[in-house]
Amino acid sequence: MIEQSPVKVAFSPLIPYMKPYQKKLALVFALIVGVVVVDLIQPWLVKEVLDRYVTVSSPDSSGIFRMTVLYLGLVLLSFGLTWYQDMVLQKTGLSIVRAIRIDLFRHIQGLALRYFDKNTPGRIITNVVSDTEALNNLFTQFLANSLRGIFTLVLIMFFMLRLNIAIALYCFLLLPLVLFMAAFFQKKIRAINSEVRHRLGLLIGFLAENLSGMAIVQIFHQEQKQQKRFDERNKSLLQSTILENQWFLLFFNITELLGDLAIAALIWFAGKGVIEGSLSFGVLYAFVGYIRRFFQPINTISQQLNPLQSAIVASDRISRTFMEIPEIKEVDGAKAPLVAGGITLDGVALSYRPGYPVLHDINLVIEPGEQVGFVGETGAGKSSIMNLVTRFYDVTSGSVVIDGKDIRQWPLEKLRRAVGIVQQDVTLFSGSIIDNIRFFQPHISEDRVREACRLVGAEPFILRQPLGYNTILSERATTLSAGERQLLSFARVLIFDPRVLILDEATACLDSATERVLQNAIQRVSLGRTLLVIAHRLSTVQQMDRICVLSEVRIVEQGSHDELLLQRGEYWKLHQSGMLLDEAARASLCEQTGIACNTARG
Ligand SMILES: Nc1ncnc2c1ncn2[C@@H]1O[C@H](COP(=O)(O)OP(=O)(O)OP(=O)(O)O)[C@@H](O)[C@H]1O
Ligand SMILES: [Mg+2]
């Protein structure tokens, strides 16, 4: 690969987004040039005043007044131009970052679930929020300051040479020294800065983990210990931040000192020239002004290495995210068949990681309207089958066919409308209950939402909430019980009226009474739908037309409840082991053992 310059790497994701702002950028460039020129004319102007009107035999006060007004005008102009330039630049930078963020989010939303297995939410959040911010800094700090710095330096050198070539050349001797020093300090500061960010990351990570796991921390009574660990992280962050500040101040003060020394040397040597009359006082004054301004841009430019460094890392991460190809892709011109709900799994295998099959040689034909239950021990691959039917993951081999068409040939949107799933882990969003159920689609009427809630038996508890359907849920809906969340999620799926309905442990968290309500609801809503139900409880699956038993990556048994019990195979074993206790069996067990078995799960 051809080695690219760091600046090019940093700017690469920005370039396409900069195109629409070409005119704005040209304006910014012109404004920067304007500001620099206006700034640097000022010492020259003072020199003119001194040489023409002050240090002459007959000083001219009206001339001084005119020049003072001009000087004031320049100062105000510089102020105005700088303000305008900053404003245009900030606005352009923020618009570009906004566009990148929107595209990033769109791209990430289109990625397959496998991407989210590999990347933690923390990493993705950093990518969308901070990495784009680093690009903004690249734009508003690096670009503007470097341009301004370089242009200032060139112009100062020009002015100095115009004033006095010999003194100018002496001054330029300082340049390598200052550059060397800036390089040394920046290297040091950059290393410390990266440590600061690393430690900040640790602190944030620790905090995030603790906040989401607060219940565990409290139940294990670890508050003191966690506080101590938090203190340690805070302290180490503080130490490195202080160190960074110390080095920065040292650098800043040394450059200032160097500037002062240069001025002292200048006054010493050039002062003689003024006394001897070979140099005007105005020129000396102007040189003092320019040397002061000479160090500023070098400082500024060397400080830009930090935003540049962050931007390179950020750009790399953003480009990588953009390069992630959605693994679940829609083929061109995909058309959905007439949806009836017939599903065929033909020699299906799935490995989340190469070499570790989770499903192998699964063959299953499900008729439209059939009700199929899935049972098997934890980790047997039940949810994984549903991941394939919903096309959250693609099969490693074989095919999933719905209504005569391989689901890879379906338009994704149509497929996801046809197949509804109530997942094991319920996700709700911050917003009202009603909006969660209709998924923020206001065109879905309130009546329809209520109907779905009544159907699944969710209405009684919703009406108990402070504002009923309009009660606002927090991000993870922690104010609701697990069973209540499941009911909401069930109602949410029904709103979209899917032909194929998948319930993955949808009754696991419900008490027996609510489960019965839901059982009835399932019977009602299953009319005209294909139903796939995963359950650990026998009561949930025993009425299904067929039950599939999964074990060690395969379907090992199929048949109705009675047939399977007669076979005395895996299903019978599960049944015996108590994993699939039905209500009657549980009640009799409770009676026999005298243990209160109110907790529903077997
Ligand atoms: N996204 C994933 N990436 C990698 N491995 C996974 C992923 N999801 C599941 N697995 C693995 O695949 C196997 C089957 O998981 P699956 O979720 O299908 O089990 P399950 O039968 O639904 O179990 P449970 O009854 O506990 O819900 C497990 O060994 C699990 O560790
Ligand atoms: Mg599961």
Q: What letter does residue 470 receive in the DSSP assignment?
A: G
pLDDT tier at 591, thresholds 50, 70, 90: very low
* Residue 114 CA, closest ligand 1 atom number: 1
Closest residue CA from atom 31 of ligand 1: 379
Of the listed ranges 245-249, 378-382, 597-601, the one predicted with least confidence? 597-601
Considering all CA atoms of the chain, what is the largest pairwise distance in Å, rounded to the nearest integer?
124
429 and 297 in a common domain: no
Mean pLDDT, the chain, as a whole number?
A: 86
Is the pLDDT confidence value at 62 over 50? yes
pLDDT tier at 595, thresholds 50, 70, 90: very low
| Residue 552 Cβ contacting ligand 1 at under 6 Å | no
Point out the domain boundary residue: 271, 288, 323. 323
Q: Identify the bridge partners of residue 420 per DSSP, sorted by sequence position.
A: 501
| Residue 117 Cβ contacting ligand 1 at under 6 Å | yes
Answer whether residue 348 is part of any domain.
no
Closest residue CA from atom 12 of ligand 1: 358
467 and 566 in a common domain: yes
pLDDT tier at 468, thresholds 50, 70, 90: very high
Expressed as residue numbers, the domain containing 114 is: 9-323
pLDDT at position 580: 52
pLDDT at position 130: 84
Number of domains forming the structure of the chain: 2
pLDDT at position 579: 57
Is the pLDDT confidence value at 588 over 70? no
pLDDT at position 59: 79
Return the percentage of the chain with pLDDT > 90, whole number: 38
Candidates 597, 72, 573, 554; CA nearest to 359 is 554
Closest residue CA from atom 2 of ligand 1: 352
Point out the domain boundary residue: 323, 342, 371. 323
Point out the domain boundary residue: 323, 352, 374. 323
pLDDT tier at 590, thresholds 50, 70, 90: very low
Answer whether residue 477 is part of any domain.
yes
Is the pLDDT confidence value at 30 over 90? yes
Is the pLDDT confidence value at 594 over 60? no
What's the alpha-carbon Rg for the chain, to the nearest Å?
36
pLDDT at position 336: 85
pLDDT at position 4: 66
pLDDT tier at 3, thresholds 50, 70, 90: low
pLDDT tier at 312, thresholds 50, 70, 90: confident
Answer whether residue 22 is part of any domain.
yes
- What is the pTM (predicted TM-score) of this model? 0.77
244 and 98 in a common domain: yes
Q: Identify the nearest ligand to the CA of 380 by its number.
A: 1
pLDDT at position 279: 87
Domain of 429, CATH number, reads 3.40.50.300
Alpha-carbon span 231 to 229, nearest angstrom: 5
Answer whether residue 93 is part of any domain.
yes
Alpha-carbon span 426 to 429, nearest angstrom: 10
Alpha-carbon span 535 to 600, nearest angstrom: 13
173 and 25 in a common domain: yes
Domain of 222, CATH number, reads 1.20.1560.10
Answer whether residue 384 is part of any domain.
no
pLDDT at position 238: 96
Which residues lie closer than 8 Å to 570 by C-beta, 6 or more apart?
376, 549, 551, 556, 557
Closest residue CA from atom 8 of ligand 1: 384
Is the pLDDT confidence value at 357 over 90? yes
Q: Which of the listed ranges 118-122, 297-301, 400-404 does the model predict with the highest average pLDDT?
A: 400-404
Answer whether residue 311 is part of any domain.
yes
Answer whether residue 193 is part of any domain.
yes
**Higher per-residue pLDDT: 226 or 7:** 226
Closest residue CA from atom 10 of ligand 1: 352
Report CA(128)–ligand 1 centroid distance (Å): 29
| Residue 468 Cβ contacting ligand 1 at under 6 Å | no
Of the listed ranges 72-81, 154-163, 407-416, 536-545, the one predicted with least confidence? 536-545
Is the pLDDT confidence value at 107 over 80? yes
Is the pLDDT confidence value at 230 over 70? yes
Is the pLDDT confidence value at 486 over 70? yes
Alpha-carbon span 402 to 567, nearest angstrom: 30
* Residue 381 CA, closest ligand 1 atom number: 18
Alpha-carbon span 563 to 467, nearest angstrom: 49
Report CA(504)–ligand 2 centroid distance (Å): 7
DSSP track, 270-310: HHHHHHHTSS-HHHHHHHHHHHHHHHHHHHHHHHTHHHHHH
